[in-house]
Structure 1
Amino acid sequence: MSLIRPFAGLRPVPERANDVVAPPYDVLNSEEARERAADRPLSFLHISKAEIDLPPGTDPYDPAVYAKAAENLNKLVAEGVLRREDKPVYYVYRLTMGDHVQTGLVAVASVADYDKNRIRKHEFTRPAKEDDRVRQIEALNAQTGPVLLAYRSQDDIDALIDSATNNPPEYDLVADDGIGHTFWVLDDPATIDRLTDGFEAMEAIYIADGHHRSAAASRVAASKNGPPDAMSRYFLSVIFPHKQMKILDYNRVVKDLNGLSEMQLLEKIATAYDVNQSAEPVSPSRPGEFGMYLGGQWYRLNIHPERIPEDPVARLDVSLLADNLLEPVLDISDPRTDPRIDFVGGIRGLGELEKRVDSGEMAVAFSMFATTMEDLMAVADANEVMPPKSTWFEPKLADGLVSHVLD
């Protein structure tokens, strides 16, 4: 067994790729997916969000949804829209968002290495979401949503992956959100072996996004109890060099000031932060710096250095804000469950924070410095978990470009 291996992917024929490609299943709710798939009968949303083909209001976890997903997948195969590769290969996948470009390897990764933490985690999972992914995989006998992984950048591995991009791509398309998706087949046996051996020599690789999908794959593999080299003991992954990955800020908005006036809030914050008004919206430029939007005014907050601990989790900016402001001042002890706090991905911009406060929906907003990949890997290496909503990865992987059949 090896950390990663090539596989015979199930993927669209090139002339249908643009019709099939879809956003990842977990960034749209059912109604949004229904709208996006309207007049697009080949959209992968009919598989990843199959409730859109059932009566409105259908519970996304209803057994009928998984049965419909399998029916829709089988139909695309029968119609020749999706075809299985005739031999195991790797694929190279490039994402382009404006000036940002990242190029990674599509492979299947070892469940055994996930189970023994060589494929390292940094988040807890929720049982309901795990159960959903298990039922989806079992119904389809395939993994259709890739796990986003990262490896510590190595020049030789990076170059091997990038070498595939010298050839004409299988797919080169721009999704309706403006993200470019370019996809190559890497079928040279010597290059495949070098990549497999190169990853096998790595101490660890890291889950960036997809903890529920990888946990579900582990459960399915255990239930099938196949031989060690069974394809069910590997899960669909796209693996990028960590230096190329882009994490955006994941900002916070809070509904009330916990009974404090704006002046009292500022006074309490000043015990842990240097507080200065700003004439412009504050996009933090370094760790330990935060923006705060309160009463129509932006403030720049810099935490006092002595309050930054050495622990890899406690020193994260999301932890510094929680431990020195959200909990002691605003009485938000569990951001995972407290209804008074919400989270705004940085892709929406600082204007979204102003909008939600100015509307009266929220009382105060905090802009964050984005968590770094180095932070993420340090937490995973310490076998710790990050606080909720610590990372927002962009651009997102598409669904439908390739799936992993389990037999």
Structure 2
Amino acid sequence: MSLRQRLARLASRLQEPQKVARFQQLCGVEALPSDSSAAGADRRGDDEEAEAPLTGDSRRRGPQPRDLQPPGSDLNQCPAKLGGGAPNGVRNGLPAELGPAPPRRVGALRRNSLTGEEGKLASVSNWPLYYLFSLGTELGNELFYIIFFPFWIWNLDALVGRRLVVIWVLVMYLGQCTKDIIRWPRPASPPVVKLEVFYNSEYSMPSTHAMSGTAIPISMILLTYGRWQYPLTYGLILIPCWCSLVSLSRIYMGMHSILDIIAGFLYAILILAVFYPFIDLIDNFNQTHKYAPLIIIGLHLALGIFSFTLDTWSTSRGDTAEILGSGAGIACGSHVVYSMGLVVDPPLDMLPLARPPITVTLFGKAILRILIGMAFVLVVRDIMKKVTIPLACKIFNIPCDDIRKARQHMEVELPYRYITYGMVGFSISCLVPYVFSFIGIS
């Protein structure tokens, strides 16, 4: 057997959904049979609803178990196959037909607010692992990003925060585009239990959660070591812990095969190896070049137009517009801040920087900046959402009675996501620091 055949055989084994299901069972996750899950859902009263775990997704709270479809419903009906494509936006997997199993405690995560698809009821016996992997999967979701990047820019180191955003945009954009080119479906259900369905309409290969979970901690260490004084041991511990937690959480949730995770990890390493040497150049260009805002906006729009034509609707298209819009907004904001002199990076002769002593005043200002800044950002996002969606519907003559259906039209979704999150990014890197400077907490 040749090396190529051995690699193909290994890849086929690593993509088997049975391995994902085996990992879930090892962690205490099992599907409930159709009859027992439906009956159990009907028997539970209001006093038992509090036992169901709440969603960790930033977009919407998970539905109560009695509102969910039983595992025998017509959700997730597209079987996965190695090397084969499937239309994007189609639910992956098959209806559950498992034998009877004694239910212990029932929970379901995440409802897709755009498609209406709901997760299946599942029996979870190991709750510490459930919450641990729920935390791990949140490290690749919008709620984490909208807190993590502003925290770096406002409280820790604006230069590191800006460059982390550049790396994040590169990694996520290339990952999303690669998914739409390869077009491999999610692991089949059954045997896999889908604890999360929000990203189920996207393709599977590679795992962008694994890519961001690899690129972000590695970039943090590369950008901060030598700039700040701290033991390298901390970074060598952080990288494998962060990466493995995010990656394993995607297998636990039933969203990715082992092959997807390995490919995402290696792909992120490749992107960092190619683009990291140019991060300083990109950041300096964004801040100092006279026509940087026009070039940034034009480049991000061009990248978006290319990726938006790759496939039909799925959450991937909106997420890509959101990523590009956020990156363009933060880059343009950094240009304005530099021009106004609001945030000045320390000179090279001051490096490495020493960690300032943690005092009540320092801690209080940090908390105040987070509270005021996040309130400002959320208000901007809400205003832009309420303005851009009806405006796009009116311009392109699309009915706006059902917002969920309206957002699935490319003419509505792309302007809404790009403009809204462009303003969010601009607020994070420019408007909020200006507010901090004005009220004296910068």
TM range (shorter): under 0.3
What is the TM-score with the length of structure 2 in the denominator?
Answer: 0.23
Hey, which of these two has a bigger chunk of helix by percent? 2
Hey, which of these two has a bigger chunk of strand by percent? 1
What is the TM-score with the length of structure 1 in the denominator?
Answer: 0.25
